[in-house]
Amino acid sequence: MIKFHILTLFPDLFSGFLKESILARAQKQGLIEIYVYNLRDWGIGKHNQVDDSPYGGGTGMVIMMEPIDVAIKEITKDWMPKKNRKILLTPQGKIYNQKKAEDLSKYENVLLICGRYEGFDERIRALVDEELSIGNYILNGGEVAAMAVVESVFRLLPGVLTKEEATRIETFHDGLLEYPQYTRPEDYYGKKVPPVLLSGNHAKIEKWRHEQAVKKTIEKRPDLLDGRD
């Protein structure tokens, strides 16, 4: 079982996300535990301050070092070394991918720290194991990124999906996009299902699916084939 710990200024954003669909079921089954913490609980002074204006001037506010430092220490105080990961969600991080999701699924605890405003005090970066980004674009904060990480990881856990095969054949698992899929009817106003899928010849079907996956990857995401024969 894996435990996710999410540190955010907007914990209510996760209420619906955690209570719906497969993720809700996985929590009920004890396959995953998710804890959401409000950073303001570690804020400074009577107003629970967590941000301040940057030295040197500039627009916006920057998340302060102290609240993050104290929060991390309290959340992780009972964690065993080497089985846990502390992650800062930031546009400066390495781009998140399926391989990283598979890596994270092997940990016991994963702490996801969501940014807001103009970013973090630079010294906060030394408090975490790594920084991750879900893409080259700007969001209001790290909450959407945290949801993406949680969803991509928890579905890899044994027992979460009803069919283990579902994770094996999906897009990105082997570095290729997923092959085309069809369902009834066989002919929809002249748009027909490829005959090979109706043949019952499983060897031919698997060969066709692989060829189509390669073709689709070349056409849509050739970057995924870098360094491959």
- Determine if residue 179 is labeled as part of a ligand binding site: no
Q: Is 218 annotated as a binding residue?
A: no
The answer for residues whose C-beta is within 8 angstroms of residue 124's C-beta and 6 or more apart is 63, 65, 68, 69, 88, 113
Residue 72 annotated as part of some ligand binding site? no
Q: Is 201 annotated as a binding residue?
A: no
138 is in an annotated binding site: yes
Residue 137 marked as a ligand binder: yes
Q: Output the CA torsion 207→209→215→219 (10° steps).
A: -170
What end-to-end distance do the CA atoms of the chain give, in Å? Answer: 36
Tokens, residue 165 = 């095969």
Is 44 flagged in the annotation as binding? no
Round to whole Å and give the CA distance between 95 and 153.
15
C-alpha of 93 from chain center: 13
Q: Which residues are annotated binding-site positions?
A: 115, 134-139
Q: Which residues are annotated as a binding site for S-adenosyl-L-methionine?
A: 115, 134-139
